[in-house]
Chains A and B, each alone.
Chain A
């Protein structure tokens, strides 16, 4: 009846929530780690500069005391020995033409040119440089009162190693935080969305008609409030629908009761009218016509009450099916014959056996043919057959047809195509026929064209092939049984 609701991918929202959580945690952790790394790095580097400059200053003083005005090779080697004992740095000295170095890998060539310019100008300066993949802090200065420049190469490898380790630790920590945030985010998102999933399941079950569906109110947050208002809505809906269906039940019971109460006086009326009918011919002329009308109207009333009873039974779902194997075309033939319609209705069709309730079939088919005769007059055709959709009984008349605007309403209860004209039936016939057809698992279609005629098609499911129908077996209307009747004494 209703379109199946589109399934929304709930995982998308969950993914988005998790991602947001990871991003927030990851970014703040990265910012924190990054800034602390920079602070530590800054502090360590400037500390290294301070210490190196202190040492360089002391070294220069020491050099001033050790070296003469024109430093000899011995003086230089004494100084380098003294430096060696202090350890921790490589010294490059430049005095006049002489160049000395305490290391093989580091020489005057490795002294940065900018630094040399500053030192020559008499300043104690430093610069960082890299020699053969080793990072050094080079502090240079002039030996006070001597024409000598000394450059101390302090290796900062350990410092950089430590900073590298710190960076690695921080990166690992950051990765761990992101991972953890992801996990927590998934769990958190799932927990957060549980009430959403539950609410959508509840809404679906409500839509499917389980009006007693409620949401548990386990939390005091927004979801709790939401669940409470959902429950309020469900409560209101349930109350409304219960009230409506109660009203409908009352109304239907009233119809059933009325019909039932009418039945006893009606039974008397029908019996009385039927007796009266036998004597109409002998009545005085002035009483004859009223008596005829009385008899006809009592029949009409009886039909109406009968139809009301039937439709209220159908509404109440109190109907039972008594299914048996039925040959549709012999049933239709019998219906036509038993009502004396032989001359006016042409039945055409082959044997179609199905399992169904013959009394309900009779009700439907008799109604459709009766209608056709009433509205279409002569030339009513009935076709019985089977096609891809199942079995069908097609009743066609060549009457005036049904107007297009009336066509969708022909199965409505008490629907009159022309309100000014009294229709002979109860107005329930087609509604009952349709209800019965549906009860049998079938349906009724209508096709009509003004001026051409109308065709009603009863469609029935063909459930299973009939079993046990052997050679010596016969059906009503079959030759076997009837022939043997003829031999009877």
Chain B
């Protein structure tokens, strides 16, 4: 199956070579040169993954990200200029799943894209997990608390599933990066922290006093079903 990728990037050279690289890797690529066009393309075509530049004319990457998140849980990878500054965190807080820093080599982008799509793939043969009033269905890719359906992105869902599979087990950020984001070594732990924040805001009654996803200071996170 050829997954469809929407690539939103204003620089023609980067756009062309990234398209070529993603196509070579087996993706079907749609492109857009600015934010507004990107949003239109996203609404017109069914898309499995969005690769989104942060600095875009017409509508910047953050705006596009926010708009897409309003209507879809599709995985989003941000192309960020600097890994060091706040723009990475801002993108993640707006619901991006991962980011790739410019300049990037094509294999890296392809690997991140595949990892994001793998997260979004359902695992139909896994049984439904019930933790208190929280119900997680890996096959249906859905989670609910009581009657309330939780609106989780693919990454948030995978993160919740990973934690909830082993209640009481402490997960380091590195382990979560490896298992949820498919980073081998030394990924950016901000990915985990921001995703946990977003997950809590959707799962917990009071995200400041979490009852499910607990922080273990200096180490990582732990799921509690009690």
Residues of A within 8 A of B11 (CB): 264, 267-268
Quick check: which of B62-70, B90-98, B145-153, B171-179 contacts chain A, the rest being far away? B171-179
Quick check: which of B34-42, B114-122, B185-193, B198-206 contacts chain A, the rest being far away? B185-193
Most A CB atoms within 10 A — which of B24, B190, B216?
B216
Judged by a CB distance under 8 angstroms, whether A466 is at the interface is yes
Given contacts A271-B14, A473-B216, contact A334 B170 (CB under 8 A): no
A315 to chain B, nearest CB (A): 13
Judged by a CB distance under 8 angstroms, whether A484 is at the interface is yes
In the complex, chain B residues 3-29 whose Cβ is within 8 Å of any chain A Cβ = 11, 13-14, 17-18, 20-21, 24
Quick check: which of A186-194, A229-237, A474-482 contacts chain B, the rest being far away? A474-482
Per-position binary interface string of chain A over residues 306-322, scored 1 when its CB falls under 8 Å from any chain B CB and 0 otherwise: 10011001000011101
Judged by a CB distance under 8 angstroms, whether B43 is at the interface is no
Per-position binary interface string of chain A over residues 206-225, scored 1 when its CB falls under 8 Å from any chain B CB and 0 otherwise: 00000000000000000000
The answer to whether A476 touches B172 (Cβ under 8 A) is yes
Q: Once bound together, how far apart are the Cα atoms of A359 and B86, in whole Å? A: 15
The answer to whether B21 touches A322 (Cβ under 8 A) is no
User: B104's contact among A267, A319, A362, by CB below 8 Å, is which?
Assistant: A267
Judged by a CB distance under 8 angstroms, whether A87 is at the interface is no
Residues of A within 8 A of B17 (CB): 268, 271-272, 275
User: B82's contact among A264, A309, A468, by CB below 8 Å, is which?
Assistant: A309
Residues of B within 8 A of A260 (CB): 81
Per-position binary interface string of chain A over residues 389-432, scored 1 when its CB falls under 8 Å from any chain B CB and 0 otherwise: 00000000000000000000000000000000000000000000
Q: Once bound together, how far apart are the Cα atoms of A263 and B83, in whole Å? A: 13
In the complex, chain A residues 273-287 whose Cβ is within 8 Å of any chain B Cβ = 273-275, 278
Most A CB atoms within 10 A — which of B18, B105, B166, B171?
B105
User: A271's contact among B18, B169, B184, B217, by CB below 8 Å, is which?
Assistant: B18
The answer to whether A270 touches B105 (Cβ under 8 A) is yes
B56 to chain A, nearest CB (A): 12
User: A476's contact among B18, B166, B175, B188, by CB below 8 Å, is which?
Assistant: B175
Judged by a CB distance under 8 angstroms, whether B71 is at the interface is no
B7 to chain A, nearest CB (A): 12
Judged by a CB distance under 8 angstroms, whether B33 is at the interface is no
B168 to chain A, nearest CB (A): 8
Residues of B within 8 A of A481 (CB): 169-172, 175
The answer to whether B175 touches A335 (Cβ under 8 A) is no
For chain B, the count of residues having a C-beta within 8 Å of the partner chain is 38
Judged by a CB distance under 8 angstroms, whether B107 is at the interface is yes
Q: Once bound together, how far apart are the Cα atoms of A358 and B172, in whole Å? A: 14
User: A275's contact among B24, B81, B84, B171, by CB below 8 Å, is which?
Assistant: B24
Judged by a CB distance under 8 angstroms, whether B219 is at the interface is yes
Judged by a CB distance under 8 angstroms, whether A265 is at the interface is yes
Judged by a CB distance under 8 angstroms, whether A469 is at the interface is yes
Q: Once bound together, how far apart are the Cα atoms of A273 and B105, in whole Å? A: 8
The answer to whether B218 touches A466 (Cβ under 8 A) is yes
Given contacts A338-B185, A467-B218, contact A302 B84 (CB under 8 A): no
A319 to chain B, nearest CB (A): 7
Residues of A within 8 A of B18 (CB): 271
Judged by a CB distance under 8 angstroms, whether A269 is at the interface is yes
The answer to whether B217 touches A468 (Cβ under 8 A) is yes
A475 to chain B, nearest CB (A): 6
In the complex, chain B residues 71-107 whose Cβ is within 8 Å of any chain A Cβ = 81-82, 84-86, 102-107
User: A264's contact among B14, B108, B190, by CB below 8 Å, is which?
Assistant: B14
Given contacts A267-B102, A474-B172, contact A275 B186 (CB under 8 A): no
The answer to whether B218 touches A324 (Cβ under 8 A) is yes
Judged by a CB distance under 8 angstroms, whether A486 is at the interface is no
Chain A residue nearest in CB terms to B55: A264
Per-position binary interface string of chain A over residues 325-361, scored 1 when its CB falls under 8 Å from any chain B CB and 0 otherwise: 1000000001101100000000000000000001100
The answer to whether B186 touches A274 (Cβ under 8 A) is no
B134 to chain A, nearest CB (A): 21
Judged by a CB distance under 8 angstroms, whether A266 is at the interface is yes
Residues of B within 8 A of A475 (CB): 172, 219
Residues of B within 8 A of A274 (CB): 21, 105-108
Q: Once bound together, how far apart are the Cα atoms of A473 and B218, in whole Å? A: 10
The answer to whether B219 touches A468 (Cβ under 8 A) is yes
The answer to whether A271 touches B21 (Cβ under 8 A) is yes
The answer to whether A484 touches B186 (Cβ under 8 A) is no
Judged by a CB distance under 8 angstroms, whether A145 is at the interface is no
Judged by a CB distance under 8 angstroms, whether A5 is at the interface is no
Judged by a CB distance under 8 angstroms, whether A472 is at the interface is yes
Residues of A within 8 A of B217 (CB): 467-468
Most B CB atoms within 10 A — which of A268, A273, A310, A319?
A268
A interface residues with partner B (beta carbon < 8 Å): 260, 263-275, 278, 302, 305-306, 309-310, 313, 318-320, 322, 324-325, 334-335, 337-338, 358-359, 362, 466-469, 472-476, 480-481, 484
13 contacts between A and B (CB under 8 A): A270-B103, A271-B18, A271-B104, A275-B24, A278-B24, A278-B107, A305-B103, A318-B85, A320-B84, A320-B85, A338-B185, A467-B218, A476-B175
B interface residues with partner A (beta carbon < 8 Å): 11, 13-14, 17-18, 20-21, 24, 81-82, 84-86, 102-109, 166, 169-172, 174-175, 184-186, 188-190, 216-219
10 A-B pairs with least C-beta separation: A338-B185, A274-B105, A268-B13, A270-B103, A325-B218, A267-B103, A476-B174, A468-B217, A267-B102, A274-B106
